[in-house]
Amino acid sequence: MLSRTLRSGPALTELGFGAAQLGNLYRPTGDAEAREAVDAAWDAGIRYFDTAPHYGLGLSERRLGEALRDRPRDEFVLSTKVGRLLVASGYPEGTMDDGGFAVPATLRREWDLSRDGVRRSVEESLERLGLDRIDIAYLHDPDDHGEQAHAEAIPALIELREEGVVGAVGAGMNQSAMPAEFVDRHDVDVIMLAGRYTLLEQGALDDLMPLAAERGVGIVAAAVYNSGLLSKPRPAADATYDYGPAPAEVMARANAIADVCEEFGLTLPEAAVAFPLRHPAVVSVVVGMRTADQVAGTVARYGAEIPEAFWQALSERRLVRDA
């Protein structure tokens, strides 16, 4: 599988393994099923794996670390996130997590973007992962904490990078405006951008993408199916977009793109995986994968041959914006 290199050194495979599902996102996943998914990704050539403490209250980190522990450490890139610490919840026994993950709420998430909180988060992630280092550390969804993110959290990550504790630093968010500020004001290496530079939505071309290309900051494109809307050859009538019901105009554009896909013998998800990689700043597309079958399907989509005429047709019909 092809790789693209960050300016700070790590080379990321163009397709990355998103491990939120290993934290029981929306529904339980067994230990064996989770391990089989990581093994299948490795066998397919994927060498970039992304997780976070938020995913299953640490379950994703523990499962991913266990699955990678016996792999040659220099052969894969691992990223996790900071900003939310996991602390004892004090909830009654049997209480389940209310953050979208099917796990017992023995822990709860506590926002902490202070220097000490960032350092503690990295230390605790290393313990859960059981690995010797973190290759990329992202500040996770600091939307409501912009001032502290700029003043403390991002500088703390840069300090950890300079100490050699982590390899590269940046932020992971569902918006492009604040990450553009991070790129403009701080010496970050990479931004994980979820849902804002996809086959369906290119708003990040107004701020983050040109700035990242200019500064040499890598973009990891996540949520490329826009909450599932682009995950099937034809959007379902009840498809979701941005974690809610898809508006009529969004559904119409998705169906129009699907029409062009059919004209060229392609599928909507194949185009969705391929589109972000056309931008020079994008270094990887991260897709959440729960099972070995999902890995196989995603790898097949990544491997689809897409002619330049297809992209030209989308541009001419004003269905996508040119990078």
Positive or negative, the CA dihedral 59, 63, 68, 70 is: positive
Known catalytic residue: 55? Answer: yes
d(CA 253, CA 239): 13
| Catalytic residue of the set 55, 197, 225, 302 | 55
- Count of Cβ atoms closer than 10 Å to residue 312 Cβ: 11
CA distances from 178 to 88, 149, 183 (A): 31, 10, 9
- Count of Cβ atoms closer than 10 Å to residue 185 Cβ: 10
d(CA 86, CA 15): 29
CA distances from 137 to 10, 52, 177 (A): 12, 9, 20
CA distances from 316 to 261, 311, 312 (A): 14, 9, 6
d(CA 53, CA 111): 12
Residues that are catalytic: 55
